[in-house]
A = this chain, B = another copy of it.
Amino acid sequence: MSTEPPSHYRHDPLQDHWIISAHERARRPTDRRGLGAFEARIHCPFCPGNEQETPPAIQTIPASAANLEASTWDLRVVPNKYPALSHGPSPERRTEGFYDVIPGYGAHEVVIETPHHVSHLADRPPEELGELLRTYRSRIVSLSANPDHQYVLVFKNHGTAAGASLAHPHSQIVAISVIPEVVATEVASSQKYFAARGRCLICDMLEHEIGLEKRIVAVNEDFVALCPFASRFPYELFVAPRQHGHDFTQTSDDQIESLARILGDVFAGLRRHLGDPAFNYILHTSPNPNGRSSEHAPSVEAIESCFHWHLEILPRLTQVAGFEWGTGFHINSKPAEDAAAELRG
């Protein structure tokens, strides 16, 4: 642990948002060497044989029969070598001249999803997707033991347009000392809706959407995938359990299998219809129930009844432009109903 924090949050007093200043991240490697290189097999720190190029693994799943020739492992979780957040000084807010600053306390891990440098989610068998989802579950549980981790965020960047700096399939897990703005907004909306109606906002929305059908992409016994009414991006997707649940880590193994199947369908639809689009996905689960209580954090009980976990998939076919940055309103030229019809295809 160094006394100089490797990263810190900075507050913008005008736009009332925080950014993370992480100059160490500028040193991270990339395999982007121009058009086409993203998929090319150039030196990759995540490929089998290069394990010494990442920090020691936090978790390793030994190779299954199918991968034994390629690798000794199916999946590895390693600390991010160029973390956005790390376990430096405690996350106390302080001032810096005119402004507010918070040390960048937290953890930043990388899930190397497969030993294969090229392996699209649409091509992986449900068991492999299930293994990945169970890994997310166990890492969230483990990172949630630290009460200074108010939130554990799981996300994936696929393709250069989605911000991936390496092509080898990987996801990221970040434990954060503050409740992120996006999560706080979702919790607040859900609480407001619950207070007025005594029901969960997302439960009601799913019931409405399943009845209406037109924005549904796939449904199975446990999960529904749909294009949300106010999609910011063309072909945006929202995947949620049909039965109320606030916390992804409480998902059973059976439900994980069911989720893996519907995700397989969804990624197959994206691939069939759009080729291999860049995308981000983001797991929206509840804040850490063990998180240190603060004036800003909603109570655990309130969240249990009102918050409904979900996965957001954002294909990145268009650029966010001046209009969006100036207003906060995304312009989407593909209505959610049309997108859903095409992806159901």
A residues with CB within 8 A of B: 9-26, 35, 84, 96-99, 153, 155-157, 160-164, 172, 174, 176, 180-183, 185-186, 188-190, 193, 201-202, 204-205, 208-209, 212, 228-232, 280-284, 312, 314, 316, 318-323, 325-336, 338
Q: A164: nearest residue on chain B (CB-CB)?
A: B321
B14–A329 CB distance below 8 A: no
A19–B331 CB distance below 8 A: yes
Interface centre among A9, A19, A193 (most CB of B within 10 A): A19
A329–B180 CB distance below 8 A: yes
* The one of B26, B176, B329 that contacts A18, using a Cβ cutoff of 8 Å: B329
Known contacts: A181-B327, A229-B12, A320-B320. The answer to whether A332 contacts B99 by CB under 8 A is no
Please report the C-alpha to C-alpha distance between residue A222 and residue B209 in the assembled complex, in whole angstroms.
Answer: 55
Please report the C-alpha to C-alpha distance between residue A148 and residue B97 in the assembled complex, in whole angstroms.
Answer: 41
B176–A327 CB distance below 8 A: yes
Known contacts: A98-B205, A185-B16. The answer to whether A325 contacts B314 by CB under 8 A is yes
* The one of B176, B280, B319, B321 that contacts A321, using a Cβ cutoff of 8 Å: B280
A19–B189 CB distance below 8 A: no
- Copies of this chain assembled into the complex: 2
- How far does the Cβ of A143 sit from chain B's closest Cβ, in whole Å? 15
Which B residues lie within 8 Å of A98 (CB)? 204-205, 208-209, 229
B182–A12 CB distance below 8 A: no
* The one of B15, B21, B336 that contacts A182, using a Cβ cutoff of 8 Å: B15
* The one of B23, B183, B338 that contacts A338, using a Cβ cutoff of 8 Å: B23
* The one of B21, B182, B190, B230 that contacts A10, using a Cβ cutoff of 8 Å: B230
- How far does the Cβ of A180 sit from chain B's closest Cβ, in whole Å? 3
- How far does the Cβ of A244 sit from chain B's closest Cβ, in whole Å? 14
Known contacts: A180-B327, A325-B314, A331-B22. The answer to whether A230 contacts B12 by CB under 8 A is yes
B181–A329 CB distance below 8 A: yes
Which B residues lie within 8 Å of A25 (CB)? 331, 333
* The one of B13, B193, B281 that contacts A201, using a Cβ cutoff of 8 Å: B13
- How far does the Cβ of A80 sit from chain B's closest Cβ, in whole Å? 11
A14–B155 CB distance below 8 A: no
Please report the C-alpha to C-alpha distance between residue A332 and residue B325 in the assembled complex, in whole angstroms.
Answer: 16
Please report the C-alpha to C-alpha distance between residue A201 and residue B209 in the assembled complex, in whole angstroms.
Answer: 45
* The one of B18, B205, B280, B330 that contacts A230, using a Cβ cutoff of 8 Å: B18
Please report the C-alpha to C-alpha distance between residue A11 and residue B328 in the assembled complex, in whole angstroms.
Answer: 12
Q: A160: nearest residue on chain B (CB-CB)?
A: B319
A163–B322 CB distance below 8 A: yes
Please report the C-alpha to C-alpha distance between residue A50 and residue B260 in the assembled complex, in whole angstroms.
Answer: 53
Please report the C-alpha to C-alpha distance between residue A261 and residue B221 in the assembled complex, in whole angstroms.
Answer: 64
Known contacts: A13-B201, A333-B26. The answer to whether A163 contacts B319 by CB under 8 A is yes
List 10 tightest A-B contacts by C-beta distance, closest first.
Answer: A163-B321, A155-B322, A181-B328, A180-B327, A12-B230, A163-B319, A26-B333, A280-B322, A282-B326, A10-B230
A10–B229 CB distance below 8 A: yes
